[in-house]
Amino acid sequence: MRGLYKRAALALAIWASVAAPAMAQTTLRMVSHADIKILDPIWTTALISRNFGYMIYDTLFSTDADLKVQPQMAEKYTVSDDKMTWTITLRDGLVWSDGTPVTADDCIASIKRWGARDSFGQALMKATGELKKIDDKTFAIVLKQPFGLVLEALGKISSNVPFMMPKRVAETDPYKQITDYTGSGPFIFKQDEWKPGDKTVFVKNPRYKPRNEPPSMLAGGKVAKVDRVEWLAIPDPNTAANALLAGEIDLIESPPPDLFPLFKSDKNVALYGWNESGSQIVMRFNWLHKPFDNVKIRQAAMYALAQEPMLQAQVGDPAIYKVCNAPFICGTRYGKEYGNLLIKPDLAKAKALLKEGGYDGTPVLMMHQTDLQSSNNVQPVAKQQLEAAGFKVDMVDMDWQSVVSRRSRKEPVAQGGWDIFFTTNIALDSNNPGFNSFASGACDKAWFGWPCDAEMEKLRDAFLHEQDPEKQKALGLAISDRAIEQGFFAPVGLYKAFGAYRKDRLAGWLASPVPVVWNISKKN
């Protein structure tokens, strides 16, 4: 099986390099879905950086298993009769990991920085007249126009998550990365032990104050039940599988499905569907430069693609993936579908659009992240499909963190830029046109790819401020139409995420669209 047992010796060698000295503390050793090099979860939307954020930071509000937004760092909130002033009071006893109190000033600065980068945050800030401090524990969001999704914004599940940071950190330019990782979450980042490409270390935060209620998805009591967490960088999935079977690690966040039968054959290992709601894979275009500055070329690419071969290459098991061309997730309130588009390729239509758009045969640069198990096998299939329609494609292999870095560059390909890349987002953050980052048309402020579309921004603004549910739904479907017509992104389909873990020593993994490790206990 893909040379699995031939790699046993290599797994043991890796284990020897990461094994911690014998000690009384409990240590959770896990292989995350990617190595991490960018630690600022506001600067980037990379999910590994989001996961890092959940380890060391906390949020004012969080979403529970019933998808209801609940207070987290907040003790309470009140809303004025006209719904234009939201007053938030922090819980008693909240401190940063350096021992200083969490204050309203910290929260105000954090919301402002998040609101400068996140598309949902940008919409909230556009509707906000003032973030006003009332006292050290209380502040108000004073709106200048109605905004019906304040709690949904502050309780946003995935990237960019409005994590709270100390004021001195949150005042960092939103377009520059932070260097101070002081948080108030359940764990503390051990920067002195961080070795990119090897391991990332966290220790239990002794100053963290969990809520009293039981945990529920991302809400409730975030109780750290292990003393130390090590994220190990083992990019080869077979090597990681060997380490898990040998008991050298405790958990693999997202192993490839073709290894599932192996895990099921071991009585001490179990699979856990931690993200039952699933994730969406998308192909993103760069609107800034030729050829994808032309809508006809973007449309041509979409007519050239077929989801199922890509999903088969990436996921394999049809029980785990779902073909779906709805930008905002099939079966949801805004999940409008579009016939055979992205389901069955129409090469004649794609070729005609390429001709109309004046495509001159210049190769498009497709970034291919070779180490990301959620989206590392779709690129070769997409390359073949695009080339069948007449595109020339230069697929460049790199690790995910290099993709994360390069996708932020606005220069042309010749100066280090890009044309296409693939990424994923959790379905619970993709199913709402108001805070789906891929749907922003805010030009330089839009998500990587930088779509610039005044009509889309007009629709999104109306959607976020509409109070009538049926009118809001109509606006949401219009946003979906616009995303497809203008080629904001190409949905590649959905898949469910499963992890593998040692059930003989771990308990308490929570069902959540984020692989959180609080509440997990370990037998030494």
- Alpha-carbon distance of 294 to 292, in angstroms, equals 5
Looking at the structure, tell me whether residues 289 and 245 fall in a common domain.
Answer: no
Residue 413 per-residue DSSP state? G
Looking at the structure, tell me whether residues 325 and 467 fall in a common domain.
Answer: yes
Looking at the structure, tell me whether residues 297 and 398 fall in a common domain.
Answer: yes
Bridge partner list, 521: 507
165: nearest Cα among 45, 60, 51: 60
The total number of structural domains that make up the chain: 3
Banded model confidence at residue 24, pLDDT cuts 50, 70, 90: low
Looking at the structure, tell me whether residues 490 and 502 fall in a common domain.
Answer: no
Let me know: does 486 contact 473? Beta carbons within 8 Å.
no
Let me know: does 7 contact 245? Beta carbons within 8 Å.
no
State the amino acid at position 330 in one-letter form: C
Instruction: Read off the pLDDT of residues 150-164 as tens digits, 9 standing for 90 and up.
Output: 999 999 999 999 999
% the chain with pLDDT above 90? 91
345-349 mean pLDDT: 98
Looking at the structure, tell me whether residues 233 and 125 fall in a common domain.
Answer: no
Looking at the structure, tell me whether residues 444 and 362 fall in a common domain.
Answer: yes
- The range of the structural domain enclosing residue 440 comes to 278-496
Looking at the structure, tell me whether residues 108 and 249 fall in a common domain.
Answer: no
Q: Is the pLDDT of residue 17 over 60?
A: no
Banded model confidence at residue 21, pLDDT cuts 50, 70, 90: very low
H or E element, residue 240: helix 237-245
Strand blocks (E) in 158-217: 187-189, 199-204
SS3 call for 59: strand
229: nearest Cα among 512, 511, 40, 506: 506
- Alpha-carbon distance of 442 to 440, in angstroms, equals 6
Let me know: does 61 contact 154? Beta carbons within 8 Å.
yes
- Alpha-carbon distance of 489 to 281, in angstroms, equals 10
Is position 177 within any domain? no
More confident residue, 474 or 464: 474
Is position 55 within any domain? yes
**CATH value at residue 262:** 3.40.190.10
Let me know: does 501 contact 508? Beta carbons within 8 Å.
no
More confident residue, 23 or 445: 445
Instruction: Read off the pLDDT of residues 165-223 as tens digits, 9 standing for 90 and up.
Output: 999 999 999 999 999 999 999 999 999 999 999 999 999 999 999 999 999 999 999 99
Let me know: does 39 contact 270? Beta carbons within 8 Å.
no
Is position 179 within any domain? no
Is position 41 within any domain? no
Is position 181 within any domain? no
**CATH value at residue 344:** 3.10.105.10
More confident residue, 154 or 465: 154
Q: Print burial letters for 456-466: b (CB count within 10 Å at least 16), e (below 16).
A: bbebbbebbbb
Tokens 């898990």 correspond to 244
Inter-axis angle of helices 307-314 and 378-389, to 10 degrees? 160
Instruction: Read off the pLDDT of residues 79-108 as tens digits, 9 standing for 90 and up.
Output: 999 999 999 999 999 999 999 999 999 999
Q: Is the pLDDT of residue 13 over 80?
A: no
- Please state whether beta strands 393-398 and 364-369 pair in parallel, antiparallel, or not at all (unpaired): parallel
Q: Print burial letters for 410-437: b (CB count within 10 Å at least 16), e (below 16).
A: eeebeeebbbbbbbbbbbbbbbbbbbbb
Instruction: Read off the pLDDT of residues 386-406 as tens digits, 9 standing for 90 and up.
Output: 999 999 999 999 999 999 999
Structure tokens at 216: 């529920």
pLDDT value, residue 435: 83
Looking at the structure, tell me whether residues 161 and 84 fall in a common domain.
Answer: yes
Count of CA atoms in the C-beta half-sphere (13 A) of 306: 14
pLDDT value, residue 138: 98
Residues belonging to the chain = 524
**CATH value at residue 81:** 3.90.76.10
Looking at the structure, tell me whether residues 462 and 342 fall in a common domain.
Answer: yes
- Alpha-carbon distance of 57 to 41, in angstroms, equals 10
Looking at the structure, tell me whether residues 243 and 212 fall in a common domain.
Answer: yes
Looking at the structure, tell me whether residues 124 and 249 fall in a common domain.
Answer: no
pTM of the model: 0.89
- Alpha-carbon distance of 174 to 183, in angstroms, equals 17
Looking at the structure, tell me whether residues 148 and 63 fall in a common domain.
Answer: yes
CA 179 to centroid of chain Cα atoms: 21
Is position 178 within any domain? no
